[in-house]
A and B are shown apart, each in its own frame.
Chain A
Amino acid sequence: MTISPLTRRYPLIALLMLVFSLAAHSGEAPESQPWLDALDTLKKGSMPAREKAILQLAEIKDAHNLAILQALLDGKLYLTKTDAKLVIGTDNHQGFDISNAINGASLGVVEHDALSKINLTNKMRGTLRKIIGELELSADDPKVRLAAVKAMAKDADEKALALLRERGGLEQDEAVRAAIKLTLLLQDMDSEDKGVRIKAIEGVKGFDSQEAANRLNAMVEKDENGEFMEPDGDIRDLAKAALININSRLQLYSSIETVFFGLSLGAVLVLSAIGLAITFGVMGVINMAHGELMMLGAYTTYVMQQLMPNYLGWSIILSIPAAFVISALVGIAIERGIIRFLYGRPLETLLATFGVSLILQQSVRSIFSPLNRSVATPEWMSGSWQINDFLSLTWNRFYILVFCLLVFVLLLQILKRTRLGLEVRAVAQNRKMAKAMGIPTARVDAMTFGLGSGIAGVAGVALSQITNVGPNLGQAYIVDSFMVVVFGGVGNLLGTLVAGFSLGIANKFLEPFAGAVLAKILVLVFIILFIQKRPRGLFPQKGRAADS
């Protein structure tokens, strides 16, 4: 099957074409005489004849036919002036990409004035819309059917309603059936019969539908004369009760959404802080270049995308190990080159690593220019997961949340179950004793720092999906991630997780009242005050390790 320009523009139609091309052979042959006749009438006939032709076409269930009708509705069905052929054309600025309407074969590009459009009246457009809706209503794909129901619900006449009723009985798919039921109930709300209306209101309150909420709202409101829009008191009371029902769910959904946003912000905080929690918590090293290691991870993603522009999804997945390795190597270089001379002098480490962060920032600025680089989001990460009218969760945030938990669990397992993890914990608890037992502390230090830095790189990959990738990316997160580590309690990974998520959620719950900036300030002030009260964070280290 050749891909016509039309299908490129309209994936839905492409899908339909595929579905129907499989079914076409069992149904009426597309090139049947009545079909060709109807198309002929469409070409030449007067407006009334054209209308008739459309109605004739409506009887034929075929993908090609549907594509023609859709093109007709979109004003993309043309007649070639030279040989009066019916073609579907897509404007590409220089001219039209055209394809034969009858068999879908591509006919190349022609100039704008080589075609004349098949015009329609408004009435015909209305008819067409319904016909297309009806054709789609019996499509094989439930998603197409659902879309068709929603489109029909917008201006349903008696015929459409009858069709919906009929489909409602036959429909197998749960979601499509619910959509049909809702459409019918909404229609019934305007019924003459009070009984039907009461039943409709009762029925509609179980649906999470914006439309239903709007209609109910309209029923209980007053017009400018102070009269109720709805004269019937019983109906009004019922509508009020139904509204309370819907609104309580609405509130629930909005809290769920806030919690989700909070969790996703928390996930970003946790991702950026756990690498720090290792270097800061386990090794007692303040790494101010941590943010820049994240930035390196984000730039790695950018470079990977440049290297393989046709495989967006894969480039993101491959960026994860690449970013880990690059940031880890840079981290190890920092540790071997600078930090190992400064153990036991945390304040000096802070200054030196800050210097490193400036150098890294400026290097990136010199190599990649000071402008932000855009990193594309693969298809499976863009868009959102529409649960119902009131609740939708964006995919990229969702994936980052999952990714954050994965990284966390993996890190915990590394520290708990591997040889390296054991050595890291031993050195963290008592460096001298660990050394006495034969643990190569210098090597362990380098590996720990590499691990923490690598995780920063991985966090950078995640960040590249939600913020701009630029030289200042790291700076924006460094203060926040220190706050998370300190709030959670140094040396405690679980504390970092709890702190990150709770700060994220607190931030998002404050935002509606205080605005984004003030919310952030409030959270910062809260942490400053909290540290006064509990200088060692939420989950302080106990025992001998706490003294150092």
Chain B
Amino acid sequence: MKLLTLATQDKTCTTVLMLLAAVTVVIPLCNVLTAVDSPLHFSAYTVSLVGKYLTFALLGMSLDLVWGYCGILALGHGAFFALGGYAMGMYLMRQIGTRGVYGDPLLPDFMIFLNWKELPWYWFGFDNFGFALLMVVLAPGALAFVFGWLAFRSRVTGVYLSIITQALTYALLLAFFRNEMGFGGNNGLTDFKDILGFNIQSENVRSMLLFLSGSALIISFLLCRWIAGTKLGRVVTAVRDQESRVRFLGYRVEMFKLWIFVFAAMLAGVAGALYVPQVGIINPSEFTPLNSLEIVVWVAMGGRGTLYGAIIGAVVVNYSKTVLTGLMPDAWLFILGSLFVVITVLLPDGIVGLMRRNIRGKQV
């Protein structure tokens, strides 16, 4: 009952959730039940594309929690996504086993290629799916904790924080490009074979991954909504609006910020982990500052501080990206750039704000 009230706070929100649930259930169900040539059957391309959008939506929503609710403009959110992706990638890498080009049961191909003799210690345990799942949330969470603990405690705020989060993801980008790091360097991790014993390329696994991504998104959405409604959520919103006032009221602002930051990083990690098996590769380019900035655009486009706005934004922007890069590859950066400008100057509340204004306009 309580969940239902969370989901039905306003009309747009309900619509978005209904649509999400429909996509999550219908596409996989159709694909499992119908034959390949049936008109109800979705192509493998569509399935993985939709699955990808869903993980992006989860990523955007996690950033909205930090930026929209807590006022921290994190320009390095993509780093947590990538870390989650790498954790999943490492599991998938270990699953290849002897089917690699060099056929080594223990070492992934790139290590043999670099003449490594044994598995580095941080690769241990990743053959276990449970351990990998743990790492998917723990690795980004730990990084966010250390970084946030240092930053929030010394009251680094505003643009300073934005810039050092950007530096963080930039430093990670440089680090992961190094072959010595043991994460495949430039090429990253790819050529995955199967997940939990199922062929990763098969249609059913793809449908399943889509279903999981959609479910993760819906569950996370409800979770975030619930958090926003709790006392913690309210304090966090207060921090966004008047940080010093909240501090003077006796709250330990840094702890609230830290909590939200770490939680959002974990969500981003989950999104990354779902993203990697669907696209089949993870490489250091996920760490580029541009990627993190793009996430910010999704959220700004959809409307920050609403959670479902981030979902709308992520899907709309990425869908246009897919369509436009196909139609006119050179124009995409022009459009993305103009989106940044137009949204910030003319549409500070994004699509959701626009819809709300329209609804209100009609009511008056």
Contacts and interface: CB of A to CB of B under 8 A. Distances in A.
Contact of B154 (A354, A475, A527, A535): A535
Contacts of A341: 345
A352 interface: yes
B166 interface: yes
B156 A532 contact: yes
Nearest to B343: A351
B175 interface: yes
A48 B164 CA distance: 79
B159 to A, nearest CB: 5
B221 to A, nearest CB: 24
Interface residues of A, number: 40
Contacts of A350: 73, 159, 162
A424 interface: no
A479 interface: yes
Contacts of B334: 358-359, 362-363
A533 B153 CA distance: 10
A527 B340 contact: no
Interface stretch (B19-27, B104-112, B198-206, B293-301): B293-301
Interface stretch (A63-71, A210-218, A517-525): A517-525
B330 interface: yes
Contacts of B174: 517, 520-521, 524
A339 to B, nearest CB: 9
A351 B160 contact: no
Q: Which among A342, A346, A482, A483 has the greatest number of chain B C-beta atoms within 10 A?
A: A482
Interface in A467-481: 475, 479
B354 interface: no
A22 B171 CA distance: 63
Contacts of A529: 150
B167 A527 contact: yes
A162 interface: no
Given A342-B344, A365-B330, A479-B167, A532 B337 contact: no
A486 interface: yes
B171 A521 contact: yes
A209 to B, nearest CB: 38
A524 B167 CA distance: 7
A359 B166 CA distance: 20
- Overall SS of chain B's interface: helix
Contacts of B345: 338, 341-342, 352
B44 interface: no
A355 B341 contact: yes
B158 interface: yes
Nearest to B152: A532
B167 A351 contact: no
A365 B153 CA distance: 43
A357 interface: yes
B230 interface: no
B178 A517 contact: yes
Q: Which among A341, A366, A532 has the greatest number of chain B C-beta atoms within 10 A?
A: A532
A221 B256 CA distance: 67
Interface string B160-187: 1011101110110011011000000000
A125 to B, nearest CB: 48
A316 interface: no
A361 B332 CA distance: 12
A517 B174 CA distance: 7
Nearest to A370: B330
B330 A533 contact: no
Contacts of B330: 362, 365-366
B289 interface: yes
A197 B193 CA distance: 73
B337 A531 contact: no
B177 A358 contact: no
A458 B326 CA distance: 37
Nearest to B288: A475
B302 to A, nearest CB: 14
B159 A358 contact: no
B212 interface: no
A197 B340 CA distance: 76
A338 B342 CA distance: 9
Nearest to B296: A351
A348 interface: yes
A347 B341 CA distance: 12
A346 B344 CA distance: 11
Interface in A327-364: 338, 341-342, 346-352, 354-359, 361-363
B170 to A, nearest CB: 5
Contacts of B163: 482-483, 486
Contacts of B343: 351
B340 A354 contact: yes
A307 B59 CA distance: 49
A12 interface: no
A548 to B, nearest CB: 10
A524 B171 contact: yes
B100 interface: no
B281 interface: no
B29 interface: no
A532 B150 contact: yes
Given A352-B341, A358-B333, A362-B330, A517 B177 contact: yes
B339 interface: yes
A342 B300 CA distance: 15
Contacts of B341: 338, 352, 355-356, 359
A250 B206 CA distance: 64
Contact of A359 (B159, B168, B338): B338
Interface in B102-133: none
Nearest to A285: B159
Contact of B340 (A352, A524, A533): A352
Contacts of A355: 336-341, 344
A517 B154 CA distance: 28
Q: Which among A349, A356, A528 has the greatest number of chain B C-beta atoms within 10 A?
A: A528
A479 B297 contact: no
B6 interface: no
A265 interface: no
Contacts of B73: 347, 350
Given A347-B73, A351-B296, A525-B171, A286 B337 contact: no
Interface of B: 73, 147, 150-151, 153-156, 158-160, 162-164, 166-168, 170-171, 174-175, 177-178, 289-290, 293, 296-297, 300, 330, 333-334, 336-341, 343-345, 348
12 contacts: A286-B159, A346-B159, A350-B162, A352-B340, A356-B337, A365-B333, A482-B163, A524-B174, A528-B171, A529-B150, A531-B154, A532-B156
Pairs of residues from A and B, 6 with the lowest C-beta to C-beta distance, nearest first: A355-B340, A358-B337, A359-B337, A362-B333, A524-B171, A355-B337
Given A354-B340, A517-B178, A525-B171, 17 more contacts: A338-B345, A342-B344, A351-B296, A351-B297, A351-B344, A355-B338, A355-B339, A358-B333, A358-B336, A359-B334, A362-B334, A524-B167, A524-B171, A527-B167, A528-B164, A531-B156, A532-B151
Interface of A: 286, 338, 341-342, 346-352, 354-359, 361-363, 365-366, 475, 479, 482-483, 486, 517-518, 520-521, 524-525, 527-529, 531-533, 535
